[in-house]
Amino acid sequence: MSSAAPKIQTGQEPASPNDAVPPVPRPEAASSGSSRGSGGSGGGRPPSNGAGTGTALDYSGYPVVAARHPWRWAGTGLVAVGVAAILWSLLTNPRWEWDVVAQWFTAASVLRGLGETLKLTAIAGSLGFVLGFILALMRLSSSRLLASVSWTFSWIFRSTPLLVQLLLWYNLGYLYEKVSLGIPFTDVRFFELQTTTLISQFAAAVLGLTLNQAAYSAEIIRGGILAVDQGQLEAAAALGIPAWRRSTRIVLPQAMRSILPTAFNEIIGLVKGTSIVYVLAYSDLFYTVQVIYNRTQQVLPLLLVATLWYVAITSVLSVFQYYIERHYSKGAVRSLPPTPLQQVRQLFSTHAKRTEATR
């Protein structure tokens, strides 16, 4: 009994017609088999995930379905209804007396009071931050006397209400009848002035606002300086950079990123805090509005006039804050955020491109 041994076909020997040759799958079958199942059956079809075939699957036919956010839409609708109700109430309630608001908004007396408010803010803000910078350096000094004086100043003026400080400075003439300049502990005097003549309403307002602002500014500036990594100062000192240049070129530009947000909050608070000088009968914006509504009995419209002017001032300061913070963030981010004007231009250019594409 004989058995046929399998023949081994090499590349040199021609294949016999009787030899069993496995069929070669057609490209259509291979591609169709790859989408039906695994490659173990079906005449050597590739796997369904496209592995080993050298081709990637085509997902262009799959639809893109956006994620659903029902609660977000519900919250948006609720807030939109609330905003619409507030606007409707402001526009339809006759007791707001918008005609009276428009009458007094640009009145000469109101504009003079606005000018005094801006003047107080500029003077007290500038002097307060300059004095606060000096106090911050004193607090960081290695001299115990300078550090103690700075700490005591901030402690006293942050512990007493601004109203009390204003009244104290205005009544300084009760404590000291004359203010003189001369050699201490001697009778030598260069000049003397009556305190009541020197401390006017404007002087008392500037003194109170400036010293109160300096106490808070000192802590803000000190915190910003301490936020800078001390290793950078050590590296700069090792490179032989002078101390003045280390402070102005390395420490302060980085400290400004921490100082600016809180500093602008203080300035905005100072704008509104100037309204407290009405206790001195100083004719700022709020005192002027009070005088007018005490005469006309139109309280709410005149208060709304003052409110709108305060909102306008703080809005302008917020714009300045944005651009100044953007300037000092150059070393902290790779690319600066677009300004509002750039965002508007980008929006219009994108809309124009989409319009051209649809045509």
Q: What is the per-residue burial (b if ≥16 Cβ within 10 Å, else e) of 277-307?
A: bbebebbbbbbbbbbbbeeeebeebbebbbe
CA-CA distances (angstroms) from residue 5 to 8, 17, 19, 20, 275? Answer: 9, 16, 12, 13, 112
| Dihedral angle computed from the Cα positions of residues 307, 312, 314 and 319, in that order, rounded to the nearest 10 degrees | 160
pLDDT recorded at residue 42: 44
119 exposure class (CB count in 10 Å sphere: 0-12, 13-18, 19+): middle
Four-residue CA torsion sign, 327, 332, 335, 339: negative
Tokens of 259: 């100082």
User: Which DSSP string do the residues of 192-260 spell out, in sequence order?
Assistant: EEEHHHHS-HHHHHHHHHHHHHHHHHHHHHHHHHHTS-HHHHHHHHHTT--HHHHIIIIIHHHHHHHHH
- How far apart CA 307 and CA 206 sit, in angstroms, is 23
Say if CB 149 and CB 315 are below 8 A apart. Answer: no
CB neighbours (10 Å) of residue 11?
4
Helices (H), the chain: 27-34, 70-92, 98-105, 108-139, 144-159, 162-170, 172-175, 195-198, 201-226, 230-238, 243-246, 252-273, 285-296, 299-328, 340-358
CB neighbours (10 Å) of residue 247?
15
- Tens of pLDDT, residue by residue, the chain (359 residues): 444 444 444 444 444 444 444 554 444 444 444 444 444 444 444 445 555 555 777 877 888 887 888 899 999 999 999 999 999 998 898 888 999 999 999 999 999 999 999 999 999 999 999 999 999 999 988 899 999 999 999 999 999 999 999 999 999 888 888 888 888 777 777 878 888 888 889 999 999 999 999 999 999 999 988 888 888 778 888 888 887 888 788 888 888 888 888 899 999 999 998 999 999 989 899 999 999 999 998 899 999 999 999 999 999 998 888 888 887 777 666 677 777 777 777 777 776 766 676 66
pLDDT recorded at residue 212: 94
Say if CB 339 and CB 271 are below 8 A apart. Answer: no
pLDDT recorded at residue 3: 46
Q: Tokens 């600016």 appear where?
A: 260
